[in-house]
Amino acid sequence: MKLLGLFRHAKSDWADPRARDFDRPLNKRGRTGAAIMGRHIRDHGVAWDHVISSPAVRCTETVEIAAEAAGRPLAVNWDRRIYLASSATLADLLREQDEGFSATLMVGHNPGLEDLIFDLVPDDGSSPLRDVVEVKFPTAAYAVLELDIDRWADLADNCARLVHLTRPRDLDPTLGPQLT
């Protein structure tokens, strides 16, 4: 069995309409959400032996803030292929992972991460957490999937169980949707 963690970048700043999408930083709410989720990921207890992330600014800031809040520095493999990748590209990247890693945390973007959950977790009614993801996999959401594989190279559709899902608003209601 392998473990896959999916951590979507925190809320980004849209204040500068001239900024390239890749260069958008986190906004204040995003920095707060990244810190809260970093502590949650630490407390959840999975020892991630490998972290791969998009190098987009909003992802690098999410990882840095989450790691600092958790009090655990992370050695991250920054992989440009994760930036705005499709589920198929993310799955291909996971199939390339070193077999020595049993627990990989991927930090990236939607819709790729959300679609990866839909591809890996069967839509057979057995996962109420999958139903939550169908509504939305919001910024800074964290999911853990147990993969029924022994080798990353064997990653295939419907090989996973979604065993954990936490959104920032689950830990701090002020980080939920802004109703105006």
Whether 119 is covered by a domain: the verdict is: yes
Give residue 55's domain range: 2-175
Output the pTM of the full model: 0.95
| Overall number of domains in the chain | 1
Q: What gap in Å lies between CA 147 and CA 25, rounded to an integer?
A: 32
pLDDT tens readout for residues 69-120: 999 888 999 999 999 999 999 999 999 999 999 999 999 999 999 999 999 9
What CATH number is associated with residue 87? Answer: 3.40.50.1240
35 neighbors 65 (Cβ within 8 angstroms): yes
- Counting every residue written for the chain, the total comes to 180
Whether 180 is covered by a domain: the verdict is: no
